[in-house]
Chains A and B, each alone.
Chain A
Amino acid sequence: MNTIYILWQRQVKKFLRSRSRIVGALGQPLFYLLALGYGFGSIFKQAGQGNYLQFLSPGVVAMTILFTSIFGGIEVIWDKQFGFLKETLVAPVSRLNIMLGRTLGGATVATVQGLLVIILAMIFGFRPETSHLILAVVFIFIMAILFTSLGTGIASVLDDMQGFPIVMQFIVTPMFFLSGSMFPVEGLPKVLGYIVHVNPMTYAVDGLRGLLVNTHHFSYATDWSVLIVVSLIFLAIGSWLFSKIKA
Chain B
Amino acid sequence: MLLITCPWCGPRAELEFRCGGEAHIARPADAMNISDADYARYLFMRKNPKGWHYERWNHAAGCRRWFNALRHTATHEIRATYKPGDRKPEPPR
Query: Real complex partners, A and B?
Result: no
A residues within 8 Å of B by Cβ? none
